[in-house]
């Protein structure tokens, strides 16, 4: 059965793309992620149910420093049934700095309180401090791990404490100068004014004023996304699934980087390219983003993503260009080629709400519009459980394409796109060739005029490898109507041909 949009000029009659049937892309759009399920109630730092940790994250019933139930911390030395100082000692043991009960170092007798750093029994000369007893078990495996960690810390603290205490005892007649960081003036963590060119700080300072949050409320739902300012008088470029995803007549509100909220109206949108332009009223001094080019991007190049993931406006994340010319079905359904992106792949964190936001280079120039993220379904070969949110595989529309589409939406309210004039399906086992199999040729279209026959398997468009119907659709849409391209195909007899094709045009949509 033939699927897709006939107007696109390249359609699919067979769902699925080889090697991509499990990991699908979903739009990085509007709703916050739900919290993960848990059977434990956590306190500060993430503890299990029934635990009440003190500072630094200790096991059940512990006081500061990781002590078992019933012990509390005091200052200095300790006697039986007294509390233990920070460092994490076992049940009924009361040493500070590794000493046993009842005795004190440097001439301290039973029942006396030694100076800071001393506990009870003096260790043998030159020996290690006695090993404290383990605290009583509790809290399962995680509790045991915490207790073990506390004991290791206790041994280290005991050795240091003993050495410090001995120094104090042997030099009690000397007066030491005490300094504290609390008396020091606060040092600046950064200085945005002196951020080095090409640094993330400099990029963020340049780009943040040009990126907005968009809140959408409509009859079919509500959500949020991001947008990029492209004119000082209020034109904003975003994704179509942000601007029109809530249905016709949805209300749009833009939140500027300074927190100003202002209503916006739709100028035009095209769902095939997943791009839209909206306009805010009453603004004449906005900061337009600086356009770069996606033509000279290279894999491994550092990039920065800016947007409002989960409603967190002005979020900046970093990564690299992971791949180029990645065909992505933004609907998440590979059998539906109505929205296929010729995408930049990046590992910069992109989450729901980032859609329509900026992907920029290290000069702060726009190179892409963040649009989609990959997800993994439960039971897929990529993971045993479903995963959503950022998994390091995000996609952006190349800026060269986005800029051309935006200009058409502003000028004409609709988009004219390039078409090859074929219907395609995946290359099957009978072809022994990966590519896009021509299942139909449009009479009078570009492919027919160039002599591309029905049943041919298209494997290359100019220098781009075509290994699936989506790859062919994305590649054709990256050109302008009237462009001349070299198409390489294998005919049904196994012979390979390369022909020059002048791409036709078709109305994509828009409103």
Coil, strand or helix at 162: helix
Contact 307, 360 (CB under 8 A): no
Q: Would you call 178 helix, strand, or coil by DSSP?
A: coil
HSE-CB for 50 with a 13 A CA cutoff:
7
Facing residues of 325 across strands? none
Long-range contacts of 241-244 (CB under 8 A, 24+ apart): 241/27, 241/29, 241/271, 241/274, 241/330, 241/355, 242/29, 242/30, 242/214, 242/216, 242/276, 242/355, 242/356, 243/214, 243/216, 243/269, 243/276, 243/278, 243/356, 244/269, 244/271, 244/276, 244/511
* Tokens 């910069």 found at: 348
Give the three-class secondary structure for 107.
coil
String of DSSP letters for 120-158 = SSPPPTT-PPPPPPPPPP-SHHHHHHHHHHHHHHHHHHH
Q: Is 134 a catalytic residue?
A: no
Q: Which of 241, 257, 342, 371 is catalytic?
A: 241
**Alpha carbons 473 and 418: distance in angstroms, whole number:** 10
E-strand stretches of 158-289:
211-218, 221-229, 235-238, 251-255, 261-270, 275-280
- Angle in degrees, CA 508, 345, 195, rounded to 5: 115
411 is catalytic: no
C-alpha span between 458 and 452 (Å, rounded) = 9
Q: Which of 215, 270, 274, 361 is catalytic?
A: 274
Q: Which residues of 29-47 are buried (b: 16+ CB within 10 A; e: fewer)?
A: bbeeeeeeeeeeeeeeeeb
Q: How far apart are the first and last CA of the chain?
A: 29
Q: Of these residues, 355, 390, 478, 508, which one is catalytic? A: 355
Asked if residue 312 lies in contact with residue 329, where contact means CB atoms within 8 angstroms, the answer is no
User: Which helix (H) or strand (E) segment is 509 a member of?
Assistant: strand 504-509
Cα–Cα distance measured from residue 270 to residue 239, given in angstroms and rounded to the nearest whole number: 9
Reply yes or no on whether 497 is catalytic.
no
Collect all residues with Cβ–Cβ distance below 8 Å to 316 and sequence separation of at least 6: 200, 203, 204, 207, 208, 304, 305, 306
Helices (H) and strands (E) counted in the chain, each on its own, are 6, 22
By C-alpha distance, which of 240, 269, 241, 243 is closest to 254?
243
Please check whether residue 377 is in contact with residue 366, taking contact to mean a CB–CB distance below 8 angstroms.
no
Q: Strand, coil or helix: what is 185?
A: coil
- Assess contact for 504 and 446: CB atoms under 8 A: yes
Residues tagged active-site: 241, 274, 355
């Amino acid at each position: 059965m033939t699927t897709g949009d006939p107007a696109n000029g390249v359609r699919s009659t067979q769902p699925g793309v080889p090697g991509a049937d499990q990991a699908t892309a979903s739009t990085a759009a509007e709703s916050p992620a739900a919290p993960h399920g848990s059977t434990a109630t956590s306190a500060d730092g993430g503890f299990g149910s029934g635990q009440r940790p003190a500072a630094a994250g200790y096991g059940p019933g512990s006081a500061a420093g990781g002590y078992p139930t019933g012990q509390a911390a005091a200052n200095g030395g300790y006697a039986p049934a007294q509390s233990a100082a920070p460092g994490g000692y076992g049940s009924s043991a009361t040493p500070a700095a590794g000493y046993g009960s009842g005795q004190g170092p440097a001439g301290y007798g039973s029942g006396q309180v030694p100076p800071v750093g001393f506990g009870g029994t003096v260790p043998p000369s030159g020996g290690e401090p006695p090993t404290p007893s383990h605290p009583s078990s509790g809290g399962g495996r995680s509790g045991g791990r915490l207790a073990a960690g506390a004991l290791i810390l206790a041994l280290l603290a005991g050795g240091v404490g003993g050495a410090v205490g001995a120094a104090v005892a042997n030099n009690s007649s000397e007066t030491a100068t005490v300094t504290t960081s609390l008396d020091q003036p606060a040092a600046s963590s950064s200085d945005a004014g002196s951020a080095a060119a090409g640094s993330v700080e400099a990029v963020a300072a340049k780009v943040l004023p040009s990126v907005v949050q968009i809140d959408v409320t409509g009859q079919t739902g509500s959500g949020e996304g991001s947008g990029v300012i492209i004119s000082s008088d209020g034109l904003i470029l975003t994704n179509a699934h942000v601007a029109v995803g809530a249905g016709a007549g949805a209300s749009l509100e833009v939140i500027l980087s300074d927190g100003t909220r202002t209503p916006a109206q739709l100028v035009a949108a095209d769902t095939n390219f997943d791009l839209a332009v909206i306009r805010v009223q009453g603004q004449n001094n906005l900061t337009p983003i600086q356009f770069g080019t996606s033509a000279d991007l290279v894999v491994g190049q550092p990039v920065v993503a800016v947007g409002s993931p989960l409603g967190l406006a002005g979020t900046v994340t970093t990564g690299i260009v992971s791949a180029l010319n990645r065909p992505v079905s933004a609907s998440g359904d590979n059998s539906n080629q109505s929205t296929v992106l010729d995408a930049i792949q990046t590992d910069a964190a992109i989450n729901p709400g980032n859609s329509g936001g900026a992907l920029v280079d290290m000069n702060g120039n726009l190179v892409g519009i963040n649009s989609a993220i990959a997800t993994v379904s439960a039971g897929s070969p990529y993971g045993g459980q479903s995963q959503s949110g950022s998994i390091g595989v995000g996609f952006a529309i190349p800026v060269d394409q986005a800029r051309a589409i935006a200009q058409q939406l502003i000028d004409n309210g609709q988009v004219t796109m390039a078409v090859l004039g074929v219907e395609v399906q995946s290359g099957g086992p009978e072809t022994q060739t990966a590519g896009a199999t021509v299942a139909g040729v449009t009479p009078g279209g570009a492919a027919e005029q160039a002599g591309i026959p029905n049943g041919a398997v298209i494997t290359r468009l100019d220098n781009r490898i075509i290994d699936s119907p989506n790859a062919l659709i994305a590649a054709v849409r990256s050109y302008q109507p009237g462009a001349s391209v070299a198409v390489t195909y294998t005919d049904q007899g196994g012979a390979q041909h390369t022909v020059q094709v002048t791409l036709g045009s078709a109305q994509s949509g828009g409103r």
